[in-house]
Amino acid sequence: MTYLGRIEAALDEIRGESRYRELPTRQISGFIDFSSNDYLGLATDPQVVEAFKHATRVGSGGARLLGGRHREHFLLEEELAAWLGRERALLFSSGYHAALGAIPVLAEFTGRILSDELNHASLIDGIRLARRTHAIYRHGRRAPRHDEASLIVSESIFSMEGDAIDLGAMLAQLRDDDILLVDEAHALGVVGLEGAGLARRLDDPRVVVLGTLSKALGAHGGFIAGPAPLIDLLVNRARTFIFDTALPPSLALAARIALMLARSADDRRARLHANAARLRAGLALSPGASAIVPVVVGSEERALGIAQQLSERRILAPAIRPPTVPPGASRLRFSVRADHQAEQIDFLIDELRQCIATL
313 φψ region: left (φ > 0), alpha (ψ -120 to 50), beta (else): alpha
Asked if 216 and 40 touch (Cβ cutoff 8 Å), the reply is yes
Distance of alpha carbon 303 from alpha carbon 318, whole angstroms:
9
Instruction: Say whether 159 is catalytic.
Output: yes
Q: Give catalytic status of residue 37 as yes or no.
A: yes
Contact criterion met (CB below 8 Å) for 274 and 344? no
Q: Which of 115, 159, 330, 335 is catalytic?
A: 159
71 touches 96 (CB < 8 A): no
* Virtual torsion, Cα 312, 318, 320, 321, nearest 10 deg: 60
Query: From the CA atom positions of the chain, what is the Rg in Å?
Result: 21
Is 120 in the active site? yes
Whether 183 is a known active-site residue: answer yes
Q: Do 186 and 215 meet the contact criterion of CB atoms below 8 Å apart? A: yes
The Cα 27–Cα 29 span in angstroms is: 6
Taking the C-alpha atoms of residue 315 and residue 24, their distance in angstroms, rounded to an integer, is: 15
Any catalytic annotation for residue 155? yes
Beta strands in the chain (DSSP E): 32-33, 88-92, 112-116, 133-137, 150-155, 179-183, 207-212, 222-226, 292-298, 315-316, 319-320, 330-335
The one catalytic residue among 72, 161, 183, 184:
183
C-alpha span between 357 and 359 (Å, rounded):
6
Cβ pair 338, 275 in contact under 8 A: yes
Is 134 part of the annotated catalytic residue set? no
Exposure string for 4-37, b = 16+ CB within 10 A, e = fewer: eeeeeeeeeeeeeebbeeeeeeeeeeebbbbbeb
3-state helix, strand, coil in the chain (%, to 5): 40, 15, 40
Catalytic residue among 37, 94, 154, 330: 37
Q: Are strands 32-33 and 315-316 parallel, antiparallel or unpaired?
A: parallel
| CA–CA dist 71, 64 (Å, integer) | 11
Q: Which one is catalytic: 70, 73, 97, 120?
A: 120
Whether 12 is catalytic is no
- Catalytic site residue from 77, 155, 178, 244: 155
User: Considering 73, 215, 220, 273, which one is annotated as catalytic?
Assistant: 215
Selecting among 70, 73, 186, 340, the annotated active-site residue is 186
Residues with active-site annotation: 37, 120, 155, 159, 183, 186, 215
